[in-house]
Amino acid sequence: MCGRFALSAMLTDIAEEFSTTAMPEKTLPVDWNIKPTQDIYIIKNQSIDIASWGLIAPWSKDSIQALRSQSQAINARSESVHEKPTFRNAFRNRRCLVPASGYYEWATELGRYKTKQPVFISRDDNKLLAFAGIYDRWISPEGEIRDSVAIITRDAVGDLAKVHNRMPLFLPRERWSDWMDSELTEIEEVRSLMNIPKPDSHLRFWPVASLVNSIRNNGADLIAPVELGEPEVLF
């Protein structure tokens, strides 16, 4: 899964990386500890927009229900995103990219790290990650407009599978245009875009301190590598 990530790039750098021409009306601060329901940047064709992380269920009747549904829909599984009522319309019609400098994961099983050890994952060339995302727009009974987004995940592969069994779906540059094409609505064709030959290509990761566990903490020190002792052998 992906429950926390970082974006340290400036808005102009994001625009250059994704070749966008339209900018949002406001600029979000650099953030090393982005959490669910927070406003984040999303890429839609030639524009950078802002949406709240966690897809609001289309049938939410009020703001309380909307917020509750968001917290339960920060990620959408690639295997079932085309079927789930919360996600399927957005998957067909409203796909985007979510830029990130890297993301955090917490070890869940025996493997490379002890359970709950936080790890930071980024590209090995320092370029931005492009998470596959889906977005939607919800309008409250009072007329308030809220754009929201979910990040698509898949089974983890390679060394990342020794940290957690899920990972975000990273899209290579050559698939960005098709993924964001609103005229591409044939489900099986869209699903085929998620079949990435080497989904962990150009990734690196390292253990970080438990500072990231608290959403109150922020700053570049959250991704600083830490030295760990020898892993425990239980049998």
Structure confidence at residue 115 as a pLDDT band (50, 70, 90): confident
Supply the pLDDT for residue 233: 44
Question: How far is the C-alpha of 134 from the C-alpha of 92, rounded, in Å?
Answer: 9
Supply the pLDDT for residue 118: 95
Residue pLDDT, tens place only, 90-113: 999 999 999 999 999 998 865 678
Supply the pLDDT for residue 127: 95
Q: Could you tell me the pTM of the whole model?
A: 0.94
Residue pLDDT, tens place only, 180-191: 999 999 999 999
Q: Which of 2, 17, 188, 232 is catalytic?
A: 2
Question: How far is the C-alpha of 142 from the C-alpha of 139, rounded, in Å?
Answer: 8
In the predicted model, is pLDDT for residue 10 greater than 50? yes
If you write DSSP's letter for every residue of 133-176 in order, what string do you get? Answer: EEEEEEE-TT--EEEEEEEEEEE--GGGGGT-SEEE-BPPGGGH
Supply the pLDDT for residue 117: 93
Q: Which of 79, 105, 183, 186 is catalytic?
A: 105
Supply the pLDDT for residue 235: 35
Supply the pLDDT for residue 230: 56
Note if 2 is an active site residue: yes
Note if 105 is an active site residue: yes
In the predicted model, is pLDDT for residue 168 greater than 70? yes
Q: Is the dihedral of CA 133, 138, 144, 145 positive or negative?
A: positive
Q: What is the mean pLDDT of residues 206-234?
A: 86
Supply the pLDDT for residue 114: 85
Q: Specify the amino acid at residue 69.
A: S
Residue pLDDT, tens place only, 36-95: 999 999 999 889 999 999 999 999 999 999 999 999 999 999 999 999 999 999 999 999
Supply the pLDDT for residue 94: 97
Domains of the chain: 5-223 (3.90.1680.10)
Supply the pLDDT for residue 112: 73
Q: What is the mean pLDDT of residues 175-202?
A: 95
Structure confidence at residue 228 as a pLDDT band (50, 70, 90): confident
Contacts of 136 (CB under 8 A, 6+ apart): 55, 56, 58, 89, 90, 94, 147, 148, 149
